[in-house]
Amino acid sequence: MSDIDPLADLGVRPTSAGPTLRVFSSSAERLELVVDDAPRPRVVEMTRDEHSVWSAVDPALTPGRRYWLRVDGDDRQALLDPWARGLGRTGRGEHRATVVDESFDWGGVEKPRTPLDRVVVYEAHVRGLTRLAPFVPDELRGTYAGLAADTTIAYLKELGVTAVQLLPVHQHVDEQRLVAQGIENYWGYNTLSFFAPHAAYASRDAQLAGASAVVREFKGMVRLLHEAGIEVWLDVVYNHTAEEGEDGGPVTSLRGLDSSAYYRHDAEGRPVDVTGCGNSLDTSHPAAHRLVMDSLRYWATEMQIDGFRFDLAATLGRDAGHVFDPEHPLLHEIVNDPALAGVKMVAEPWDVGAGGWQTGAFPDGWIEWNDRFRNRARDFWLTDVATARSHGTPPTGVGSLASKLSGSSNVFAHRRGPLAGLNFVTAHDGFTLLDLVSHDAKHNLSNGEQNRDGTDDNRSFNHGVEGHSDNPWISDARRRSMRNLLGTLFTSSGVPMLTAGDERGRTQRGNNNGYCTDSELTWVDWATEPWQQGLHDDVATLARIRRENPALRPVRFGLDGACTLSANEISWADAAGEDMRPDEWDDPHVRTVQYVARSTPEHEGPNTVLVLVHGAETTAAVALASLEGVARWEPLWTSDDSAELVALEPGAEVLVSGPTVAVWRAAS
C-alpha cells in the first residue's frame, strides 16, 4: 500500500515533465485547462486518475501566466484553480488564476517565535490602520508596505505590541447583496482564494506589476515586521467561501468543480449552512480538509506567518453529520502538523449552527477567543455600574470577574492552562472601546439594513448621554471606564488582544457592525487630543507592566497546596485586607477585591503583584493585603488619573475612589 497522499501537490507545481496543474474533482466528466496565450487562449485536456485528481502539463505555466478551468466543456464558466497562489484581473474585471514567482530573499530574517505568555495581540485592518496615518507616505497608506513602514513599526513597538493580527488578507470579493446596494465588504470575510493575498491592499506599483509583485510586497511586510520582533497573525475564513447561496449564486471555483465534495449537504443533497454566509465548507471530506491544510502550510512556510485566527472555527470541527466534534481530525492536524510547529492557532470557538457555541471545548494546542472574559469585564465595569446608578445596587459581586482575572479556569481545562484563552474587551466585530462607554444602543442605519444588523447584546453604558458629550463629568467617567477595561485586560491571566485604535479612543459613532464601510468611520483616526495621548500612554504602560511582571502572565494553572512552575500562587483579600469569605464572592454589596499573584519561577525571577479592583462609584478605604516576605507595595499604575499612588506597607490604608483598578508590585 502506497504512503503517497493522492491529494498531494495540487495546484501548479514544477515536475520533471514540466509545469503541471493538478486539480481534484470527483463530479466532473471532463476538465480542461485554459491558458491565456496569444493570439487566443489555448485549451489543454486534463487527464483523471483513480483518485479523481485531474492533471495537465503545459510549459506556458510560468510566472505571470493567467489560466483557468473549464468543466464538461462549459465555456460560460471560467473557474479558478482553488490552489492558485495569485490572481489577476481581466479587462472586464474578472478574476483569473495567475502563476506567481515565489522567489524572495528573506535576508536570514527568522520568525520571532514570541513565547505565548509574552504575546500582546493588536487586531488591525491592513487598509484601515494606515489609511489616514500622516507618518506614512501618501502612496503607501492603507497598504502592506504602509503597515511595514518604519514609522508604523516604531509606533507598534512603542505601544508594546508583539503580534499584529490582520483581518482577512486572502483575496476576497463583495457579496452580491452589497454590490446591489453600492457598498462593499470592508472586513473581507468573503474569500475568493485561500492562497492569493488580496491585491487591493498592495501599493499601486505592485498592483500594476502583477500578482508576483503583490506577493513580494506581502512578504516584504512580514520580513520587516519580523526584523522588529513583531509576529504576523492572519484572520482566516475557512468556514465558507464567496460562492454564497445556491440557486443563482456565484460559481467561481469549488462549486463548479465539485460542490458535493467541498460544501456541506444533507442526506437529500440540500445545502447545510452553519455559518449564515450562504455555504459551509465540509471539512469532513478529504478534499476540503486538504485545501485548509495546504493553505495553512503555504502561509506558514512560504509567507512566514506566525499565527492564525480561525473565523467561526466550530464549523471546521463539524463531522459528516454536521455535529461539532472536539476530536475532529482537522482540529488535531492543525495543531500537530510538523510544518506548522510553533505557529499559534486561535479559534473563534463558535458558529451559528446547532450546538455552535463551543468556548472551552477545543482540543489541546488551541487558543480560544474568550467571550466569557469580554462579557464579564463589560458587565462589571459598565452594566453593573449602570444598574447601581438606577437601582442603588449592582446585580452581582466580584466573584465572576475574579475568575476571569485568574485565567478562566472554569472555562478551560486545567491541563490547557490560562494561555488557552485569548482575552479581549473589543474586537473588529462590535463597538469600539470609546463607543462601548458612549452608547447604550447600536446605530447602524448607514449599513442599509434599517438598523437590524449587528448585535443588540452590547453590554455597554453611555454614562448618561447617548453619543458624543461635551459634559466634562461624563467624559471623565467614560475615560475612566475605558482605563478600567484596559487595566483588567492587561492584568488578567491569558493572552491579551487590543483592537487597533482603541488605544486612541477611536469611534465609529455607535456603529457596531462596520463590515461594509470603508471610510473615515472605520479607519484609525490619528488626530490626537491630550486625553487620547494619555490613553495611549496608559496602554503602553500596561503592556510594559505585563512584560516586566511574570506573575501577571502564568503559563499554567496552579494547584492548591502545591508549587507548579510557571503558574502563579493566588490569594484574595477584601477591602479590610482579610481573606475573602465564601459569602462575599457573590454579594452585590462587595465590589472591592485584592488579587495578589505570586510567580513560581521557572525561567524568570520571583515576582509578586497586587491588583486592586474597586467596582463602585464610591470611595472605599482599603487596607493593602499582607503577604509573607513583602515589606512594601510599590505603585505601578492606576486608572484614577487624579490619584497619586505612593509606596505603602502591607496593611496600610489607602482611599480609593471608584470605579478603579490599581496595580502594585511587592518589594522585600
Cβ atoms 159, 547 nearer than 8 A: no
Binned at pLDDT 50, 70 and 90, residue 37 comes out as confident
311 catalytic? Reply is yes
* Joined grid coordinates for residue 299: 502561509
Percent above pLDDT 90 for the chain: 95
pLDDT confidence of 560, banded at 50, 70, 90? confident
| Cα angle: 116, vertex 119, 122; to 5 degrees | 140
Can you tell me whether residue 378 is helix, strand or coil?
Answer: helix
3/198: higher pLDDT: 198
Mean pLDDT, to the nearest integer, of 401-418?
97
Look at residue 668 in the predicted model and tell me its pLDDT.
86
Q: What average pLDDT does the chain have?
A: 96
pLDDT > 70 in the chain, percent: 100
Residue 348 is a catalytic residue:
yes
Q: What is the pLDDT of residues 242-283, one digit of tens each?
A: 999 877 789 999 999 999 999 999 999 999 999 999 999 999
Nearest by Cα to 77 from 69, 85, 67, 66: 69
For residues 560-579, average pLDDT: 93
Q: Single out the catalytic residue among 235, 244, 348, 503.
A: 348
Tens digit of each residue's pLDDT (9 = 90 or more) over 43-64 = 999 999 999 999 999 999 999 9
pLDDT above 50: residue 2? no
Question: Of the candidates 134, 130, 147, 249, which has an alpha carbon nearest to the alpha carbon of residue 197?
Answer: 147
pLDDT at 74: 86
Residue 268 burial class via C-beta count within 10 angstroms: exposed 0-12, middle 13-18, buried 19 and up: exposed
Domain with residues 136-153+161-170+194-358, CATH architecture: Alpha-Beta Barrel (3.20)
pTM for this prediction = 0.97
CATH of domain 372-550: 3.20.20.80
* Catalytic position from the list 311, 371, 518, 574: 311
CATH of segment(s) 558-667: 2.60.40.1180
At 510-520, the pLDDT tens digits run 999 999 999 99
Residue 84 has pLDDT above 80, yes or no: yes
> In this predicted structure, what is the pLDDT of residue 148?
98
Q: What is the mean pLDDT of residues 86-98?
A: 94
Which stretches within 182-250 are classed as H helix? 204-209, 211-227
If one looks up domain 11-79 in CATH, what number appears? 2.60.40.10
pLDDT of residue 39: 85
Mean pLDDT of 151-160: 98
What are the residue boundaries of the structural domains of the chain, listed by start?
11-79, 136-153+161-170+194-358, 372-550, 558-667
Q: In CATH terms, are 11-79 and 558-667 the same topology?
A: yes
Collapsing DSSP to helix, strand or coil, 80 comes out as coil
pLDDT digits (tens, 9 = 90+) for 296-335: 999 999 999 999 999 999 999 999 999 999 999 999 999 9
pLDDT at position 3, please?
Answer: 63
E strands present in 527-587: 568-573
Is there a contact between 551 and 597 (Cβ–Cβ < 8 Å)? yes
